[in-house]
Amino acid sequence: MATGDMPSDGVAGRQALLRLMAWLSPAFPVGGFSYSAGFESAIVEDHVRDGDGVEAWLLTLLSAGGMRNDAILLGEAHRLQSEGQPLEDLISLATALAGSAERHAEMTRLGEAFVQAAAAWPHPVIERLQGPIAYSVAVGAVAAAHGVAKDDAIAAFLHAQISQYISVAIRLGVIGQSRGVAILAVAEQPILAAATELSPLGLDDLGSATIIAETLSMRHETQYSRLFQS
């Protein structure tokens, strides 16, 4: 079938995929390369020493930590936007869940930068996302507004988050690029499983069991020598 003969839903689906790829690309101007969500402290304080440590740390955050909560918040934002419901309460809750001043600054700066950049694809949702807003909420609402499926948005978001953590580990010299790619490959199935599991969850399912990671995020605020802002 020629490209011009493709059904409109197929074209729309590919368009949504391209937008999702653009929004969560490392080249998208949100400044994510400046932040580590406390992972720098985990490395500096010797909690993570090698590739196996990086892999275990990230899979734990995915299953029981901050990444899990971010995915749930993204899914809730997607649902509210899809149903035409207000986003204000979710925006307030998501920013209040930040465990430290650095994490609050990180999530809101990324969120605001994402909204500003996503305005290149005009949509009324942009006007609903003004002011401090958590990155995950911004991604969820914009994805829903442009017809990106919730499961796809969650999976792509988690993939981008893990990729960012891997980039931190590479830049801090814990692993090389080959090991980083290998970790990303190992994370593929857990990411897909998490997207399926977390997509139907709601705010009552928020919670984490990664106390050390949360504490390290706070300790980063007073860390003497830092490459990252969080």
Q: Is residue 94 part of a domain?
A: yes
Distance (Å, whole) CA 136 – CA 174? 27
220 belongs to a structural domain: no
Task: Examine residue 71 and state whether it is found in any structural domain, yes or no.
Answer: yes
For 185, half-sphere exposure in the C-beta direction (CA atoms, 13 angstrom radius) is 7
pLDDT at 218 over 90: no
**Residue 173: inside a domain, yes or no?**
yes
Residue 7 lies in a domain: no
Task: Look at residue 116 in the predicted model and tell me its pLDDT.
Answer: 95
What domain range is 95 assigned to? 44-203
For residue 80, what is the domain's CATH number?
A: 1.10.4190.10
Question: Buried (b) or exposed (e) across 14-53, using 16+ Cβ within 10 A?
Answer: eebeebbeebbeeebebebeebbbbbbbbbbeeebeebeb
Q: Please choose, from the candidates 38, 6, 5, 37, the residue with its C-alpha nearest in 3D space to the C-alpha of residue 216.
A: 38
Whether 109 is in a domain gets the answer yes
Residue 7 pLDDT > 50, yes or no? no
Split into its structural domains, the chain has a count of: 1
pLDDT at 131 over 90: no
**How much is the CA Rg of the chain, to the nearest whole Å?**
17
